[in-house]
C-alpha cells in the first residue's frame, strides 16, 4: 500500500544516506521516491525482477533472501531501519539478485534507480558515500557468513540469539521475529536442529522460551558457546 511520504529534506533518515546532498538535490530525489507499507510476510522485491529502485527501510524488519534451483531458501541478511540495504546488486545488475520480504510490518521507501545514478554522476561526495556504505554492508554480510561457517550448530544458534538481543532489540528479552525454519535458512542448518538446540539451551537454563518470546538468562554462557564455535 502506497502512503504519503515525508519530504526528503525533513526526513529523519536523511542523515543516514543523503547527508552529502544539497537542498536542491534532495528536492530532486523527492520527486522520484515513493513510500509503501508491507504487512508481515509480504514480498517487497522479487528476485529476478527488473531493478527499478533502491530501497531503504523506515520502519519494521525485512529479510533479503534467495531461492536456490532445488527450491531451498537461503536468508542473506536481516535489515532494520537505518541499515543500508537493497544496494547489494542494484548497480551491478539489471535484475535483483535477492528477494526482499517484510518479517515485521514495514514501511519502505523506494527511490528510483535512475535518480540515484543521476546524483552519483553529479555529486562525487555522494558517490563516495554510497561506495562507503555499500562496501561496509557487503563486508558485514561476508563477515557474518564466514564467521558462521566456522561454528558448530550450537555456536550458530548462540550467535544469532546474541545478535538479535544486541544488534536488533537491545534487550535480553524479545519476541523472535522469525520462525525456526527461517532461522535455519539464515544460519545454514535444518529446522529440526534449530528447535532441538533451542530446547537444549532452555533445558540448560541458558534461555527461557515463552511462546514467541525468548529471554536470555545467561548471556555470558551464550557468548562462550558462540565463541567456542
Partner DNA sequence: TGCAATACATGATAATTATCATGAACTGAT
Partner DNA sequence: ATCAGTTCATGATAATTATCATGTATTGCA
Q: What would the grid cell of residue 27 be?
A: 528536492
Binding part of the chain for DNA, among 75-83, 98-106, 161-169, 188-196 by CB under 7 A, reads 188-196
Please identify which residue in 21, 85, 198, 214 interacts with DNA, judged by CB under 7 A.
Answer: 198
Q: Does residue 181 interact with DNA by CB under 7 A?
A: yes
Smallest gap from Cβ 41 to DNA, in A, equals 9
Considering only residues 210 to 229 of the shown chain, the ones binding DNA according to CB under 7 A are 211-212
Nearer to its own copies, 11 or 160 (CB): 160
Nearer to its own copies, 37 or 134 (CB): 134
> Could you tell me the CA-to-CA distances from 214 to 56, 71, 82 in Å, in that order?
28, 30, 24
Nearer to its own copies, 106 or 184 (CB): 184
Q: Does residue 8 interact with DNA by CB under 7 A?
A: no
Please identify which residue in 58, 63, 154, 159 interacts with DNA, judged by CB under 7 A.
Answer: 154
Smallest gap from Cβ 199 to DNA, in A, equals 3
Q: Does residue 132 interact with DNA by CB under 7 A?
A: no
Q: Among its own copies, DNA, none, what does residue 124 contact (CB within 5–8 Å per kind)?
A: its own copies
Q: What would the grid cell of residue 2 be?
A: 502506497
| Residues 6 or more apart in contact with residue 185 via CB below 8 angstroms | 65, 72, 73, 74, 75
Q: Among DNA, its own copies, none, what does residue 70 contact (CB within 5–8 Å per kind)?
A: its own copies
Contact call for residues 6 and 18 (beta carbons, < 8 A): no
Q: Among DNA, its own copies, none, what does residue 152 contact (CB within 5–8 Å per kind)?
A: DNA
- Chain contacts with its own copies (rule: CB under 8 A): 66, 68-70, 72, 74, 76, 87-93, 97, 117, 120-125, 127-128, 130-136, 138-139, 141-143, 145-147, 149-150, 188, 227, 229
Torsion angles phi and psi, residue 93, rounded to 5 = -155, 155
Q: Contact positions toward DNA, by CB under 7 A? A: 152-154, 179-181, 188-193, 195-196, 198-199, 209, 211-212
Amino acid at each position: 500500500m502506497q502512503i504519503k511520504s515525508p519530504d526528503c529534506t525533513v526526513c529523519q533518515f536523511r542523515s543516514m544516506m543523503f547527508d552529502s546532498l544539497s537542498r536542491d538535490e534532495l528536492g530532486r530525489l523527492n520527486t522520484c521516491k515513493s513510500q509503501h507499507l508491507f504487512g508481515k510476510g509480504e514480498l517487497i522485491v522479487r528476485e529476478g525482477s527488473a531493478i527499478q529502485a533502491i530501497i531503504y527501510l523506515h520502519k519494521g524488519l525485512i529479510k533479503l533472501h534467495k531461492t536456490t534451483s532445488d527450491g531451498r531458501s537461503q536468508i542473506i541478511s536481516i535489515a532494520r531501519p537505518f541499515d543500508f540495504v537493497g544496494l547489494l546488486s542494484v548497480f551491478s545488475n539489471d535484475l535483483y539478485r535477492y528477494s526482499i520480504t517484510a518479517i515485521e510490518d514495514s514501511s519502505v521507501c523506494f527511490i528510483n534507480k535512475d535518480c540515484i545514478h543521476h546524483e552519483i554522476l553529479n555529486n562525487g561526495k555522494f558517490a563516495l558515500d554510497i561506495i562507503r556504505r555499500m562496501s561496509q554492508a557487503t563486508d558485514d554480510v561476508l563477515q557474518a557468513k564466514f564467521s558462521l561457517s566456522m561454528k558448530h550448530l550450537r555456536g550458530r544458534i548462540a550467535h544469532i540469539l546474541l545478535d538479535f538481543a544486541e544488534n536488533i532489540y537491545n534487550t535480553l528479552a524479545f519476541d523472535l521475529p522469525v520462525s525456526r525454519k527461517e532461522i535455519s535458512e539464515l544460519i545454514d542448518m535444518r529446522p529440526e536442529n534449530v528447535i532441538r538446540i533451542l530446547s537444549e539451551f532452555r533445558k540448560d537454563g541458558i534461555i527461557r522460551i515463552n511462546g514467541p518470546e525468548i529471554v536470555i538468562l545467561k548471556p555470558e554462557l551464550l557468548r562462550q558457546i558462540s565463541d567456542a564455535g
